[in-house]
Each structure stands twice: as C-alpha cells, then as structure tokens.
Homo-oligomer: A and B are copies of this chain.
Amino acid sequence: MPRSELANREIRRESAHRIFEAARIVFAREGRAATMEEVAEEAGISQGLAYRYFPSKQALYIALIKDALHAPESPRARLEGADSPGARLATMVSNMVILRRDCPELTRIPQLAAGDKDLPSAFRRELMQHGQRMIRSLRQRIVDAQESGEISRDDPDQLVVALLSTLDGLSRIPAGVTALGGASSFPNPEIILRMLSLRLQEPGKGPGANRKSPPSAPPERGSS
C-alpha cells in the first residue's frame, strides 16, 4: 500500500527544509567552496538526495540567496511607526544592525553571492537590483533626515557607503574576525548611528550643530 499523498508531501517538505537549513549553515561558513557532501552530512542525508529537491548545487545556492533576500523584510516592517525622518532612518539602520547580530547567515549569504562571478547573469542582475533598491531607499531616508536637520550634511553617498560597509563587516563577524570576546562585544546600534551624527535623544539641540562636521582628525599630511 503506497503512502498517502499527504504523508508524501509532508515528507518532501520536511526533507527539503532540512537540506535548505543545512545548506544555509554550510554555505554561510564556507561560501561557494562548500561541497554538496558537506551539505548532505550537515543535513544527515545521503549526497544524492539533495538532487531530488534541488536540480543543482547552484540552484540550491540561488534559492538560499533569494530566501535570505526576502526573509528580513518582515522584522523590518514592524518598526516603521516612527514620527520623523531621522527616527525612521534610525529605526531602519538599527534593524539592519540587529539583523546582523541575530541572523548573520541571512546577511552573509547574499554578501558572498555579490562577489560570485559564476552565478547566471540574469540572477546577478536581479541581485544587483535588489541591492540598488535597498541603497536607494536608505539614501532617500538619509537625504530626508538631512533636510529635516536631524543628521550631518555629508555627502549622502558617502554616508550610504559607510553604513553599508559597516553592515557588511558585521555580517562577517562569526566567520573570521571572532578574535574578540564573542557575542557580547557586538556593537550597540547607537555606535553605528553616530556615523550619521544622529541625535535621537537630544531633540532640543538645534539642527545647526550638524551642519558641518566637527573637526577631529588632524588632517595635516596625506597618508597612504
């Protein structure tokens, strides 16, 4: 007597999920150098089985990336109720920082994918557009917050790059830089927000203070 349709579907879903989660762990750790054998071992299945669920290693990888791209949307949405451009920006960035702390694989996998020349160009374009969208949205919020005088008036592109670089680096912490004391040292979002000269707690301060960035590094002499 064959298994019931329903049971079969259930088994498939379950297996696919195990493989997917195993792949997430392994790919986040090893990048594209991960082997299907490692994925299978992590999932506790045989090497061949993954091919019943994903037509190829690359397909699995891409599915993983797409998933990582869409997953973070929901948590972000939850906190959109702020009442000023600066507050919204702060919330957005804060969320992004926290996502790096709590689900580093979700952000690490697209990051690795971004540098992968072997992905099909159609998908690369998609990836890039996704990135662009996020960048544009971040940039717009920055501009808005600058106009409302809540943050520094530096070149918005530079602020975007600085923020994204930091986020990018934070994704890598579990992989390499772990040199430090572990999770407890993960930086408070406040610290990162300071790059914007965001002053959420001091609304009384006149926005004028942010007009020009304060002097700090003695610029005497070019470095290399």
Contacts and interface: CB of A to CB of B under 8 A. Distances in A.
A72 B220 CA distance: 10
Contact of A217 (B31, B32, B102): B102
Given A102-B217, A213-B188, A224 B164 contact: no
B223 A20 contact: yes
| A interface secondary structure, majority | helix
A44 interface: no
Copy count, this protein chain: 4
Interface residues on A, range: 35 or more
Contacts of A200: 214-216
Nearest to A18: B223
A181 B33 CA distance: 31
A79 B221 contact: yes
| A-B pairs, 10 with minimum CB distance | A214-B222, A165-B169, A209-B219, A75-B217, A114-B176, A94-B217, A217-B224, A168-B169, A157-B185, A169-B169
Interface of A: 2, 16-17, 20-21, 29-33, 46, 63, 67, 71-72, 74-76, 78-79, 82, 87, 90-91, 93-95, 98-99, 101-103, 106, 111, 114-115, 117, 128, 131-132, 135, 152, 154-155, 157-162, 164-170, 172-173, 175-177, 179-181, 184-203, 205-224
Given A90-B216, A98-B213, A103-B223, 6 more contacts: A78-B222, A132-B179, A157-B180, A161-B173, A162-B166, A216-B222
